[in-house]
C-alpha cells in the first residue's frame, strides 16, 4: 500500500514538473535549480571531509571559470553562454555517480571520487556535469516534455520501485536530475551524453588537466559489469559507443592515449600483524602481501620504509610502464632499469622467505596487477 501511495505521489509530482513551462536560460533556470538544490539537501547527506570538499571545489572552480568564459559548440541543448555561479557538493554515499541540476549546481558522490584515480579523471567527470549545465540540457529536456507520455512514466516508476525501491531514488525522482533517467529510458540520453562528453573534451583542453582523464573512467565503467549491475553511474549510461567516441576525439586531436599518466594507481594498505610471534607492519599492494617489517623499537621507521616502497613502486607503475618493463634479479625488483624493491634478509625471513623469494613474490604481484590493468582497457 505504501508503495502504491508513493507511486501516485511521485507521479503527481512529476505531473507538476511537466505541467510547468520550461524556464528561460539564465535567472529562471537558476531559480528552478535553487528549488532542486533545497529538495536535494533534504534527501542527501553531504560529506564534511575537508580534504574532499577542498579538492572538488578547487577542480570545480577551475572548470567553472573556463565554462563561463568560453562558448563550446553544442550538439544538444544550446550553447548560449550564460555564466553561472557554479557550486559543487560532495554526497556522502558510495555510488559511483555524479549529476547536475540546472543553473550550475553540481553533485559528486564520494564513491565517484574514490573511483577516480587522479585529479585528471575527476576533472573529466566534473567537466561532463558542467557541460550538462552550461548547455542547458535540462531546460531542453523540459521543452521536449510532450514527447513523454503517462504510460511511459508509469512503466518507469514501476520499474524503479520493483528493481530496487531504494529510498533515495524514490524520494528524489521528482527532482530535475532524474529527468536524465527518464530521458534515458526514452532514448534521449544518447544525444545529451554525447554532447556532454564532447563539450567536456573541449573544456578540459583549456585547463591544465589531461584529456585522457575523460577516457579512462569510461573504460573502467564500461568494462565492469559488477558496477553496472549495481545501477552505478545510472544517470550517465556508459556504453561502448561513448568509449569509442572518446578514443576517436583524442586520436583526431593527436593527443597520445597515455593511460598511465592519469590512472593505474595501485591500491595499498599498511597493517599491524604478528608473524612468527613477532609484531610487524605489513604492506599490501592490491590486497596482496608485499613485505612485513619487524617493528622493534622504532615503529615510525617501519611505516616510513613501507610508505617509501609504495611510493617508489606506484610512481614507476604510473609512468606508463608495460608488463615487459618489469624484471627481477636475486636482490631487487627492477622497473625500467631502476631498482624499486630491495628487501633485506631480516624483513624477508619474518614471513619465512629468502630475499630472492620475497623479490620474486613482489615481481609476480606487480606483473599480475599490470596484466589486469591492461586487459581492463580493452573494451
Q: Which chain residues interact with Zn ion by CB under 5 A?
A: 196, 236
**Continuous segment of H or E residues that includes residue 12:** helix 2-19
Chain-centre distance for alpha carbon 342: 34
Q: Residue 62 or residue 197: which is nearer to Zn ion going by CB?
A: 197
Query: How far, in Å, CA of 234 to CA of 222, rounded?
Result: 12
- Side-chain-side CA neighbours of 159 within 13 Å: the count stands at 11
CB closer to Zn ion, 130 vs 196:
196
Cβ 32 to Zn ion, closest distance in Å? 19
Is the separation of the CB atoms in 104 and 46 below 8 Å?
no
Please identify, using beta-carbon distances, which residue of 110 and 242 lies nearer to Zn ion. Answer: 242
CB of 211 to Zn ion, least distance (A): 17
Nearest distance from C-beta of residue 196 to Zn ion, angstroms: 5
Of 202 and 326, nearer to Zn ion (C-beta) is 202
Q: Which is nearer to Zn ion, 126 or 285 (CB)?
A: 126
> Minimum Å distance from CB 193 to Zn ion?
5
Q: How far is the CB of 370 from Zn ion (least distance, A)?
A: 31
Whole-number minimum distance, CB 170 to Zn ion, in Å?
Answer: 21
For residues 101 and 317, which CB has a smaller minimum distance to Zn ion in the complex? 101
Q: In terms of CB distance, is 14 or 130 closer to Zn ion?
A: 130
105 vs 99: CA distance, rounded Å: 9
Nearer to Zn ion, 110 or 137 (CB): 137
Give the residue at shortest CB distance from Zn ion.
Answer: 236
**What's the first-to-final CA gap in the chain, in angstroms?**
44
Quick one: CA torsion of 91, 170, 141, 184, rounded to 10 degrees?
90
Measured distance CA(107)–CA(129) in Å, rounded: 8
Residue 293 CB, nearest distance to Zn ion (Å)?
Answer: 46
Residues 6+ apart with CB under 8 A from 350: 275, 276, 278, 280, 292, 293, 294
Q: Report the distance separating Cα 247 and Cα 259, nearest Å.
A: 11
Assigned C-alpha cell, 156: 518507469
Beta-carbon count within 10 A of 310 CB: 20
Q: How far is the CB of 117 from Zn ion (least distance, A)?
A: 20
3-state class (DSSP) for residue 83: coil
Q: Bridge-partner residues for 293, per DSSP?
A: 281
Residue 77, all three cell numbers? 541543448
Amino acid at each position: 500500500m505504501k508503495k502504491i501511495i508513493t507511486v501516485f505521489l511521485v507521479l503527481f509530482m512529476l505531473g507538476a514538473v511537466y505541467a510547468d513551462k520550461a524556464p528561460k536560460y539564465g535567472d529562471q533556470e537558476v531559480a528552478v535549480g535553487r528549488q532542486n538544490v533545497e529538495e536535494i539537501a533534504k534527501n542527501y547527506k553531504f560529506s564534511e571531509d575537508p580534504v574532499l570538499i577542498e579538492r572538488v571545489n578547487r577542480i570545480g572552480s577551475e572548470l567553472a571559470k573556463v565554462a563561463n568564459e568560453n562558448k563550446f559548440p553544442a550538439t544538444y541543448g544550446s550553447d548560449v553562454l550564460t555564466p553561472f555561479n557554479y557550486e559543487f557538493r560532495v554526497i556522502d554515499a558510495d555510488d559511483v555517480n555524479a549529476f547536475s541540476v540546472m543553473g550550475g549546481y553540481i553533485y559528486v558522490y564520494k564513491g565517484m571520487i574514490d573511483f577516480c584515480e587522479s585529479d585528471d579523471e575527476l576533472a573529466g567527470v566534473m567537466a561532463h556535469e558542467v557541460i550538462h549545465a552550461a548547455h542547458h540540457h535540462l531546460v531542453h529536456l523540459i521543452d521536449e516534455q510532450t514527447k513523454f507520455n503517462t504510460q511511459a512514466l508509469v512503466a518507469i516508476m514501476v520499474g524503479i520501485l520493483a528493481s530496487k525501491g531504494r529510498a533515495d531514488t524514490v524520494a528524489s525522482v521528482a527532482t530535475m536530475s532524474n529527468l536524465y533517467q527518464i530521458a534515458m529510458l526514452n532514448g534521449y540520453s544518447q544525444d545529451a551524453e554525447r554532447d556532454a562528453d564532447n563539450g567536456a573534451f573541449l573544456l578540459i583542453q583549456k585547463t591544465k588537466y589531461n584529456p585522457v582523464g575523460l577516457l579512462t573512467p569510461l573504460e573502467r565503467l564500461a568494462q565492469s559489469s559488477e558496477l553496472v549491475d549495481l545501477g552505478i553511474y545510472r544517470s550517465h549510461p556508459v556504453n561502448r559507443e561513448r568509449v569509442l567516441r572518446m578514443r576517436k576525439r583524442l586520436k583526431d586531436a593527436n593527443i597520445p592515449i597515455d593511460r598511465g599518466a592519469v590512472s593505474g594507481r595501485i591500491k595499498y594498505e599498511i597493517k599491524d600483524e604478528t608473524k612468527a610471534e613477532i609484531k610487524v607492519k605489513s604492506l599490501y599492494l592490491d590486497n596482496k602481501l608485499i613485505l612485513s617489517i619487524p617493528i622493534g623499537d622504532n615503529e615510525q621507521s617501519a611505516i616510513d620504509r613501507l610508505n617509501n616502497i609504495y611510493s617508489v613502486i606506484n610512481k614507476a607503475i604510473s609512468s606508463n610502464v608495460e608488463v615487459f618493463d618489469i624484471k627481477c634479479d636475486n636482490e631487487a625488483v627492477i622497473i625500467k632499469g631502476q631498482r624499486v624493491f630491495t628487501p633485506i634478509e631480516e624483513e624477508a625471513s619474518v614471513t619465512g622467505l629468502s630475499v630472492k623469494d620475497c623479490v620474486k613474490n613482489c615481481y609476480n604481484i606487480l606483473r599480475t596487477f599490470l596484466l589486469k590493468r591492461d586487459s581492463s582497457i580493452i573494451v
